Amino acid sequence: MADVLPYDVAAPEAAARLAEATRAVEAHPREKTALLPALLDAQHVLGWLPRPAIERVAAWVRVPVSEVYATATAYSELRLERPDPAVWHVCTGVACDLAGAEALLAASPGRTARIDCQFLCALAPVVADPHERLVGRVTAEGLRARLGAAPVESPR
Amino acid sequence: MSIVATPALARLRGRFPAPASTRVLVHRGTCGDAVDVGGVVEVLRAALGTRASSVVETACDGACWAAPAATVVRPGHRHRFARLDREPLEAVVACLGGACEDAYAGSGERGLLARVGHLDGSLADALAQGAYLALAHAVTRKPDEVIEAVQRAGLSGRGGAHFVTAQKWRLAAANAGPRMLVVNAEEGEPGVFKDRHVLEGDPHRLIEGVLIAAHAAGIARAVIYVNGQARNARRAVDLAVTQAREAGLLDGSALGGTGVQIEVRSGAGGYVCGEESVILNSIEGERPVPRTKPPFATDRGLFDRPTVINNAETLCAATTVFDDPPPPTKLIPLSGAVPRPGLYEVPVDGITAWSGVLAMAGANPQRVRALLLGGPSGRFVLPEEFDVPLDMRGLGAGGVVVLPLDVDIPRITRALAAYNARESCGECTPCREGTPRLVALLEDASANRAQIDALIEVMTEASLCQLGGLAGKPVASALALFPQDFEAAR
């Protein structure tokens, strides 16, 4: 699991969050069918899936950690790395590409990254903020203004 | 629909107060929220003063282009006001007072979409606007008769595979229970946003379809699998399931029919999850990869039980099949270079063609190079085809991106191929190895033409599921229709 960043469970806030995530995981039945719902709930609390969260899910649904990891890596929306809270994602689906996604990426280098279709094609071009809230009909100036106005939260 | 309410449905309706007949629907939902409709709601409430309580927040009605938008509803009268970020709100206020004409343009037929963006979120409102009428009717018939009606209406899978729905229900019903129903609302195909609109705007339509299928095929347990990013759709379905359960619709006590358990689940991304056997693995907690067939799901599907897997739109359409059903419709999520992108409901009646769809969206066909139909698993449609009547079999999931005259076809083709390569689950070799190789060969498509054709043939014939099976389709289509573009791009 080399690509799973270290997660300091000893840090007070991290420990509290992990406890909360564990409660969410343990609200599910202890069956393999709960694997994905449990992973989603853990990610909902933590913002991503650090190794301790994977281990909690594995123990709860009684599936080897390696198998939970194999499953988690197969879903594009499950995050095994801590997301950068400063980065907004620019949709690069075909409609957004036609509507100028590349110009948005070029306008805010370092603060933007590519993401696949966000299914809001009729309001292209679309960006997603660090909380995955979608913004439609974005212009380069509008994006820069939003980035300037948005405080960067400290990572969890 | 000409069928009338049964006594049981009339009793159920009678349990709720009638919703207000005059109101201002503000189309909030995912589309509205992405363009700050919240600000419009506040200003509108202030402008309406004492009549502020007539504002109802609802979902996008399919006219995504209009967002932020509001629709004034008075008895026998609807008027949509578009782009309220640019247009003054006074007209909305005046309309509520009676000073506007009936105008609700630009969304085509409204069968499945009839209530989408017109509901306040309560079961009472859905019932008042016709929800569960088809179910009330269906449960008075024997299961075989319901399947017969579905067959007569020609209902087929709306997710793209076009399998005859009645046959699928029969195949599962022929096996011993308990039988399962999996609702595929994963909708992970780029460019497709139809199911999430219907689920977000009219979740009871889907639940009614689930209950009709449950009655017809003897289903004990249903799992609704919703795309992980469609969070508003998930919330709406969760609420509607609770409302339906509390009203006695799920256990059969309100209208009749056998009881069914409904569970709602979220996906977590992955185009391959649109493949039905992948969803079965996902629900069981296995890695999301396809299963080999046979066994078919109708024999051994979810937890090895006989399982019907239907697309959400298919089940929604099952609510429209009774008595003299109109010609089938297809939901067409349309985006790209058009003035009015959004979700359209199009009759597939042997007459309607792409030209009609483009006209609804305000497009000038002279300025369209082609349509991309079906995204990374689809093909390009040239203007020569625009007047050919639509055929359900050729529509896939229905996603259309309108491409302008100056579109860079090789660039889009490479992007689609790269997407398939990223999304390949790796379970089978033709797709795992073939999709990245196809991307590499597209670096110089003209020179590599023979290799590309050979590779696509292998991927099409030998892939385990349709992600790999169709990955070559848009590439082959682009190379066949636009060879000069690839030559010029060398």
Predicted confidence (pLDDT) per residue in B413-456, tens digit: 999 999 999 999 999 999 999 999 999 999 999 999 999 999 99
Whole-number pLDDT of residue A151? 62
Tokens 């709306």 -> residue: B158
Q: What are all long-range contacts of A112-116, with beta carbons under 8 Å and residues at least 24 apart?
A: A112/A87, A112/A88, A112/A143, A113/A87, A113/A88, A113/A89, A114/A89, A114/A90, A115/A89, A115/A90, A115/A91, A116/A76, A116/A91, A116/A92, A116/B190, A116/B419, A116/B422
Please tell me the distance from the alpha carbon of residue B236 to that of residue B58, in angstroms, as a whole number.
11
Please tell me the distance from the alpha carbon of residue B424 to that of residue A46, in angstroms, as a whole number.
28
Give the torsion through C-alpha atoms of A93, A96, A100, A104, to 10 deg: -80
CATH classification (class only), B329-404: alpha beta
Q: Is residue B354 a contact partner of residue B371, using CB atoms and an 8 Å limit?
A: yes
Distance from CA of A134 to the nearest CA of B (A): 5
Whole-number pLDDT of residue A152? 62
CB interface of A with B, residues 21-80, below 8 Å: 31-37, 39-40, 61, 63, 67, 70-71, 74-78
B191 forms beta bridges with none
Burial label, A93 (beta-carbon count in 10 A; 0-12, 13-18, 19+): buried
Please list, in sequence order, all residues whose beta carbon lies within 8 angstroms of the beta carbon of residue B4, skipping any fewer than 6 positions away.
none
In angstroms and rounded to an integer, the radius of gyration of the C-alpha atoms of chain A is 18
Type of residue found at B139: V
For an interface test with A, give the residue of B107, B287, B372, B432 to mutate (most A CBs within 10 A). Answer: B287
Please tell me the distance from the alpha carbon of residue B341 to that of residue B361, in angstroms, as a whole number.
6
Does an H or E element contain B335, and which? strand B329-336
Number of DSSP helices (H) and strands (E) in chain B, helices first: 20, 13
Domains along chain A with CATH numbers: 12-72 (no CATH), 88-149 (3.40.30.10)
pLDDT at A8 over 80: no
Kindly list the residues from chain A whose CB atom is less than 8 angstroms away from the CB atom of residue B229: 77, 118-119, 132
Domain boundaries, chain B: 20-118, 127-320, 329-404, 409-488
| Cβ-nearest to A93 among B191, B227, B288 | B191
Does A36 contact B286 at a Cβ distance shorter than 8 Å?
no
- The dotted CATH code for B20-118 is 3.40.30
Please give the distance of CA B212 from its chain centroid, rounded to a whole number: 18
Model ipTM value = 0.95
Burial label, B88 (beta-carbon count in 10 A; 0-12, 13-18, 19+): exposed
Pairing relationship of beta strands B400-404 and B368-373 according to DSSP bridges: antiparallel
Kindly list the residues from chain B whose CB atom is less than 8 angstroms away from the CB atom of residue A71: 285-288
Whole-number pLDDT of residue B99? 85
Whole-number pLDDT of residue A1? 40
Mean pLDDT rounded to a whole number for chain B? 94
Does B31 contact A123 at a Cβ distance shorter than 8 Å?
yes
Model confidence pLDDT, tens digit, residues A64-117 = 999 999 999 999 999 999 999 899 999 999 999 999 999 999 999 999 999 999
Residue B457 has what DSSP assignment?
A: H
Kindly list the residues from chain A whose CB atom is less than 8 angstroms away from the CB atom of residue B422: 116
Handedness of CA B293, B294, B299, B301 (dihedral sign): negative
Type of residue found at B189: E
Q: What's the Cα-to-Cα distance from A120 to each of B108, B148, B287, B481, B488, rounded to whole Å? A: 20, 37, 28, 28, 32
Whole-number pLDDT of residue B88? 87
Distance from CA of A12 to the nearest CA of B (A): 29
Model confidence pLDDT, tens digit, residues B247-277 = 999 999 999 988 999 999 999 998 998 889 9
pLDDT at B1 over 50: no
Q: Is B415 on the interface with A (CB under 8 A)?
A: yes
pLDDT at A153 over 80: no
Please tell me the distance from the alpha carbon of residue B277 to that of residue B128, in angstroms, as a whole number.
37
Report the chain B residue with the minimal C-alpha distance to residue A63: B285
Mean pLDDT rounded to a whole number for chain A? 91
Provide mean pLDDT across the span B81-97.
91
Report the chain A residue with the minimal C-alpha distance to residue B344: A122
CATH fold for the domain made of B409-488: de novo design (two linked rop proteins) (1.20.1440)
- Count other Cβ atoms within 10 Å, centred on residue B284: 15
Type of residue found at B163: F
CATH classification (class only), B127-320: alpha beta
| Cβ-nearest to B196 among A61, A70, A119 | A119
Does A40 contact B333 at a Cβ distance shorter than 8 Å?
no
Higher pLDDT, B165 or B88: B165
Please tell me the distance from the alpha carbon of residue A127 to that of residue A148, in angstroms, as a whole number.
15
pLDDT at B104 over 90: no
Which segments of B15-164 does DSSP mark as H helices, in order? 29-34, 37-48, 90-96, 123-128, 133-138, 143-152
pLDDT at B133 over 50: yes
Residues for chain A: how many in total? 156
